[in-house]
């Protein structure tokens, strides 16, 4: 069997499994609750893998691993560890239980819906919905990037064909099976990602004699700082860790996984599973990217026009064709899992919060599902068109990390603080939420104008804050965490009514086993 046939069989089996799961899960998607949340009865393994595979896509494997591995060397592994312990472990512990309890108590199905019911403002919900719609599009489009170079290694297939096939098959299983199909396929795709990243790391390191020899060669070729503990730029490294780790706390497609989890035991198991998954996948990707300078010279990198997206494909180009086949399925898994999560989040948000809000009680479930499925098609087509245009028109001026940084900065900058404080602090006000929305979107728009050359920002402070979309994204998130409590204390007149009732879900008494609590005497 030739390597091309082996790869083709792997891809075919992978696609067939995805579609089969979608058709099988159609029975779980007969109403909105089942289509969007899986009936709020999803177990720990599916939820943890859904969280992890939505977190880590081809963006991290091809874009971020290449860029930050090039900039920081082996110290870029800290980004993956930050993703595991801040973006997964802490997120599950701080957000998981409270999100599940309050969203069920408020009967909230999306993050914008949470903002309306927590802060008594329909306008807030509509504003949040449009922020989700606008800023998830560039993130969704960035998922296709990285497929082009990798597919050209194994097959001589045009980039646009790869995009169309991937988009169409993702659409099929999401449209048929909704959240449950996405969760089951995420589990399968997560297994592929775990096996694939381990296999690729061993294969890449063995090209230079193993871990120790590869590290020595990296230090000799690029300088000791690229093989050191903190790398050549620890300040920027810290900025990247914050954006890619803390940012997940404010992303609707990530937080939404906590809405659907079944019970307390599932949260505890899911926390462990999600953290281990993130350590292996994210830690492995950034660790692998740290050796990029062994395979790409400064001259070769400059010849690409400084395109970081080409580094990882170049590292893999000399591997066994059978390993390349595994890499192809790995990148497809990473891309399709995140794509399915994003389009489901976008379509459900726009449908439930803007087009057919809950107040319209007479709208049939079938009509809501039809609108949602049509919007899924719209989002997939739109993101695919942007990805194709990006590759052919904008490729010289944009790369994966920029597109993702813009999305994460706007979404997390707008939503993280009001969502987190909304779960924990009764004094959070509508005025503070509006301020956070305006601050997050405003910072992102300034960054876009600066990146496009429309405005110039000088000075040490402004120059640092808007140096890249990653810097401004962190500024938006941290700024929101500071602004929301200050504005809340100054605007208590805009505090929602009956806040105690909104927090009443936390006070419901439940029976637990003696393993978790001692009996009162």
CATH number of the domain bearing residue 130 = 1.20.1730.10
pLDDT for residue 213: 94
Running DSSP on this structure, what letter comes out for residue 261?
A: B
- For the segment 142-200, what is each residue's pLDDT rounded down to a tens digit? 777 656 556 666 566 777 888 888 888 888 989 988 888 888 888 998 998 899 899 99
Predicted confidence (pLDDT) per residue in 95-107, tens digit: 999 999 999 999 8
Rounded Cα gap, residues 269 and 273, in angstroms: 6
DSSP H helix total and E strand total for the chain: 26, 0
Q: Which pLDDT value is given to residue 393?
A: 52
Local confidence band at 521 (pLDDT 50, 70, 90 cut-offs): low
What angle separates helix 400-424 from helix 252-260, to the nearest 10 degrees?
50
User: What distance lies between CA 452 and its chain's CA centroid?
Assistant: 25
42 three-state secondary structure: strand
Please tell me the pTM assigned to this model: 0.87
| Nearest of 320, 80, 315 to residue 218 by alpha carbon | 315
Say if residue 472's pLDDT is above 80.
yes
pLDDT digits (tens, 9 = 90+) for 306-330: 778 788 888 888 888 888 888 888 8
Asked whether residue 498 is assigned to any structural domain, the reply reads no
pLDDT at res. 390: 66
Q: Which neighbouring-strand residues pair with 58?
A: none
Residue 118 and residue 157: Cα distance in Å, rounded? 49
The closest of 270, 285, 77 to 194, measured between CA atoms, is 285
Nearest C-alpha neighbor of 163 from the set 389, 398, 400: 389
In this prediction, residues 210-234 reach a mean pLDDT of 91
Q: What is the pLDDT of residue 274?
A: 95
Query: Is pLDDT above 60 for 300?
Result: yes
In DSSP terms, which residues pair with 42 in a beta bridge? 261
Q: Is residue 448 part of a domain?
A: no
Given this model, what pLDDT does residue 396 score? 46
Please tell me what DSSP assigns to residue 397: T
Residue 64 CA to residue 72 CA, distance in Å, equals 11
Is the pLDDT at 422 greater than 90? The verdict is yes
Q: Which range is most confident: 36-45, 82-91, 138-147, 386-395?
A: 82-91
Which domain range does residue 207 map to? 3-23+44-394
Residue 353 and residue 369: Cα distance in Å, rounded?
14
Which candidate, 185, 134, 235, 178, places its Cα nearest to that of 37? Answer: 178
Residue range 89-117: mean pLDDT, rounded: 92
Q: What is the rounded distance in angstroms from the CA atom of residue 251 to the CA atom of residue 264? A: 22
- For the chain, what is the domain count? 1
Q: Is the dihedral of CA 320, 322, 324, 330 positive or negative?
A: negative
Using a 10 angstrom Cβ sphere, with 0-12 exposed, 13-18 middle and 19 or more buried, the burial of residue 392 is exposed
464 assigned to some structural domain: no
Q: Which phi and psi (to 5°) does residue 297 adopt?
A: -80, 165
Q: pLDDT tens digit string along 384-413?
A: 887 777 665 544 445 555 666 778 889 999
Using the predicted structure, report yes or no on whether residue 39 has a pLDDT greater than 80: no
**Strand residue runs (E) in 119-234:** none
């Amino acid at each position: 069997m030739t390597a091309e046939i082996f790869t083709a069989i792997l891809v075919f089996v992978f696609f067939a499994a995805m579609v089969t799961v979608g058709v099988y899960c159609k029975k779980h998607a007969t109403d909105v609750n089942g289509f969007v949340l899986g009936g709020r009865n999803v177990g720990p393994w599916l939820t943890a893998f859904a969280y992890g595979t939505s977190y880590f896509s081809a963006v991290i494997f091809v874009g971020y691993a290449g860029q930050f591995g090039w900039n920081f060397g082996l110290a870029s592994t800290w980004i993956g560890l930050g993703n595991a312990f801040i973006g997964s472990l802490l997120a599950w512990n701080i957000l998981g239980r409270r999100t599940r309890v309050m969203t069920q108590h408020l009967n909230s199905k999306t993050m914008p819906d949470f903002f309306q019911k927590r802060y008594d403002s329909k306008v807030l919900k509509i504003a949040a919905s449009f922020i989700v719609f606008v800023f998830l599009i560039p993130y969704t489009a960035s998922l296709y990037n990285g497929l082009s170079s990798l597919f050209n290694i194994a097959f001589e297939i045009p980039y646009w064909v790869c995009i169309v096939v991937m988009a169409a098959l993702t659409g099929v299983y999401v449209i048929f099976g909704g959240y449950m199909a996405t969760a089951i396929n995420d589990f399968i795709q997560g297994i592929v990602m775990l096996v694939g990243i381990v296999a690729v790391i061993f294969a890449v390191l063995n090209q230079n004699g193993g871990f120790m020899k590869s590290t020595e060669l990296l230090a000799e070729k690029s300088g000791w700082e690229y093989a050191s503990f903190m790398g050549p730029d620890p300040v920027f490294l810290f900025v990247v860790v914050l954006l890619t780790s803390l940012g997940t706390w404010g992303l609707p497609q990530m937080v939404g996984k906590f809405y659907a989890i079944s019970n307390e035991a599932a949260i505890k198991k899911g926390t462990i599973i999600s953290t281990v998954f993130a350590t292996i996948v994210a830690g492995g990707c950034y660790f692998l990217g740290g050796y990029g300078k062994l395979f790409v010279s400064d001259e070769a990198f400059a010849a690409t026009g400084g395109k970081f997206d080409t580094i990882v494909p170049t590292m893999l180009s000399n591997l066994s064709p059978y390993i390349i086949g595994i890499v192809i399925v790995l990148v497809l898994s990473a891309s399709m899992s995140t794509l399915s999560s994003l389009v489901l989040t976008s379509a459900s948000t726009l449908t439930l919060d803007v087009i057919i809000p809950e107040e319209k009680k007479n709208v049939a479930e079938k009509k809501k599902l039809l609108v949602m499925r049509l919007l899924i098609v719209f989002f997939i087509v739109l993101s695919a068109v942007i990805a194709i245009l990006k590759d052919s028109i904008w490729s010289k001026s944009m790369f994966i990390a920029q597109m993702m940084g813009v999305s994460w900065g706007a979404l997390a900058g707008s939503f993280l603080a009001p969502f987190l404080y909304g779960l924990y602090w009764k004094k959070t006000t509508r005025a503070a939420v509006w301020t956070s929305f305006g601050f997050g979107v405003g910072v992102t728009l300034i960054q876009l104008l600066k990146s496009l050359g429309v405005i110039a920002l000088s000075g040490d402070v402004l120059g640092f804050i808007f140096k890249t979309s990653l810097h401004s994204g962190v500024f938006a998130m941290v700024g929101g965490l500071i602004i929301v409590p200050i504005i809340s204390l100054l605007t208590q007149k805009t505090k929602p009514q009956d806040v105690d009732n909104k927090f009443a879900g936390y006070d419901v008494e439940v029976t637990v086993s003696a393993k978790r609590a001692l009996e009162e005497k």
